[in-house]
Amino acid sequence: MKRCLLVYLSLRGTTEKTAEAIAAGLRSAGHRVDLCNMAHERPPGPEGYDLLGIGSPAHYFRLPFNISDFLRVLKPLDGLPFFSFMLYGSYPGEAGNLLRKALSGKGGREVGYFHCRGADYYQGYLQEGYLFSPDNPVPEELAAAERFGRKTAAVLSGAEAYTPPPPDPPMELIFRIERSLASRGLVQTFYIRLFRVDRARCEACGKCMSGCPTGNISADGEGRPVWGKDCLLCLYCQMQCPGEAISTPINWRVFRTILGYNIAHSLGDPSVEYVRVSHRRGETRREG
């Protein structure tokens, strides 16, 4: 029996569903799989495991900062087999390429790569009334993820050969610019200073703190949020606030212009499904 460590980041469950489907495929081949969601726990190192899996959503056409940090501090893999998978609501950008390259750069041996769409619960799009890839991963994608797990097990055992898929295609220039505008340097030194809470609206419920995937938000003396610098710019705090008390740089006019371009681009792409929604008091409801 082989042991697999499967580390992933999932805030609303879409990446988690995919991870569980892949794990089911691996387990059907007799392997033990230990799952670790970075939104809730600190992942262990891969020492003592026979296979490493990393799963991530695409954030701003790149990897979330905490996934990048985990990859950066990984010890050399010395030929350890690895697989990776990506979820994205509209376009993955270069997130998948970055993930695969980082693991190969650590000396790992790639045995699988999988990607599919995932519901795009992003505050910027929700506040404009759009939810992209609303039902993904759909059952067919989860079935494909389970098959991927079984195939990865077959590659690991030597029963099947592995041919690495080509890298994801390069991004358009506008998306490269957007990615640079969401860089870690700008987030830590500039954007995080502009997170605000309306003290009259804040209910001190603690949802923003408990839901933060990096534990970046603490409470002041009255139970209201205070932001540190370990921010992913996921805007999950703003998205789930029941009092609509939190404002972030996404509310600026310049960012709303960028979001308008992205929305128009996705609406013009027949491969990207969407529904109209209203997002109020931390809840997303479909219209019609």
pTM summary value: 0.94
Percent of the chain at pLDDT exceeding 70: 100
- Mean pLDDT calculated for residue range 256-274: 94
When the pLDDT of each residue in the chain is averaged and rounded to a whole number, the result is 95
**Which residue in the block uniquely carries the two structure tokens 């750069």?**
105
- Mean pLDDT calculated for residue range 38-46: 93
Residue 86 β-bridge partners = 56, 115
Residue 288's pLDDT band (boundaries 50, 70, 90)? confident
Q: 169-178, 199-208, 209-218: which has the minimum mean pLDDT? A: 169-178
Residue 170's pLDDT band (boundaries 50, 70, 90)? confident
- Mean pLDDT calculated for residue range 167-190: 91
Residue 255's pLDDT band (boundaries 50, 70, 90)? confident
Residue 84 β-bridge partners = 54, 113
Rounded distance between C-alpha atoms, residue 54 and residue 48, angstroms: 16
Q: Count the neighbouring beta carbons within 10 Å of the beta carbon of residue 168.
A: 20
**Which residue in the block uniquely carries the two structure tokens 């998205």?**
239
The dihedral built from the CA positions of residue 214, 231, 133 and 68, taken in this order, carries a sign that is negative
Helices (H) and strands (E) in the chain, counts: 10, 12
Q: Is the pLDDT of residue 262 over 90?
A: yes
pLDDT at 136: 97
pLDDT at 37: 98
pLDDT digits (tens, 9 = 90+) for 116-156: 999 999 999 999 999 999 999 999 999 999 999 999 999 99
Residue 95's pLDDT band (boundaries 50, 70, 90)? very high
- Mean pLDDT calculated for residue range 65-84: 97
CATH of domain 3-122+135-157: 3.40.50.360
Domain 173-286 fold is Alpha-Beta Plaits (3.30.70)
Residue 256's pLDDT band (boundaries 50, 70, 90)? confident
Per domain, the residue ranges of the chain are 3-122+135-157, 173-286
Rounded distance between C-alpha atoms, residue 2 and residue 111, angstroms: 14
